[in-house]
Amino acid sequence: MMKQDLKISLPVYKIGYSLAFIVILSCVHSVVYINEIGPAIDEKMAVLAMVFCADTYLIEKQCRRREVFRLYSIKNQYHAILRRIMAQIGYLTVSSIFAYGMFYWQKPAVLDEKRSGIFLFLLYCGVVFITVFFWSVLSVTVCNLLQSVGGGMGMLFLVWLFLVSKAGEKLLGVWNPFSYEFCKFSELTEWKWAAGKIITAVCAILLLLLQKKILEKRG
């Protein structure tokens, strides 16, 4: 069963375009300092997660397996969706870490010896995991509620555009899901910016727990 869910959630074409996305990003987005790598990737991984996970459930409908899938109990459907989401989140998180290393071909400089190297990398790992987690679960939820992959991605892309804009930064401040990107390098260890990531992590967990109810309502 796990093997089948992996095959459904991680098809070759998804792996192909996600890797291409990472390579292209590391080539077109220039960085000068190491601390710029994390913010350069994090908000872009939200878009990749949004697209990557949009059809996690609706692929059953697209591939005409929906009637068979609905023969399973809601509990089994829920567990299948969870396995698929977790597999996708795991893959995207590993891909994000790989993307971080890809930027080193640009030979970014060290801005501060006390806050560089391993500290920035570990901080990035935690931040990007939350980003991938939140946008993956949100994408699955919205697309399932709307019963439309295109409609769900379109709505979420507009939300993403607002959040990464100057208006989103000013309106939400440290509560913005992308507060890490807007944070100045000197403010990283003040941790005020972490409020936005904590909120998104909590929301992602709640949405994950709600998947069973959504399946019952939307089928």
The length of the chain, given as a count of residues: 219
**Pick from 69-83, 127-141, 171-185: least confident:** 69-83
User: Is a pLDDT exceeding 70 seen at residue 127?
Assistant: yes
Q: What is the pLDDT of residue 52?
A: 93
Tokens of 45: 């991984």
- The number of beta carbons lying within 10 Å of the beta carbon of residue 162 is 13
Between 113 and 53, residue with greater pLDDT: 53
pLDDT of residue 140 exceeding 80: yes
Per DSSP, helices labelled H in the chain are: 2-9, 12-28, 37-53, 59-62, 66-69, 74-102, 118-146, 149-163, 166-172, 179-182, 194-218
Instruction: Look at residue 130 and tell me whether its pLDDT is greater than 90.
Output: yes
* Residue type (1 letter), 187: E
The confidence band for 69, taking pLDDT boundaries of 50, 70 and 90, is low
Distance separating alpha carbons of residues 172 and 170, to the nearest angstrom = 6
- pLDDT bracket for residue 204 (50, 70, 90): very high
Residue 133: the pLDDT is 96
Per-residue pLDDT at 190: 78
Give residue-wise pLDDT tens across range 25-60: 999 998 888 888 999 999 999 999 999 998 887 766
The model's pTM is 0.88
* Residue 109 bridge partners (DSSP): 33
Do 64 and 159 form a contact (C-beta atoms < 8 A)? no
**Who contacts 148 (Cβ-Cβ below 8 Å, separation ≥6)?**
58
**Nearest partner of 26 among 126, 131, 96, 73, judged by Cα:** 96
* Token pair listed for 56: 């996690």
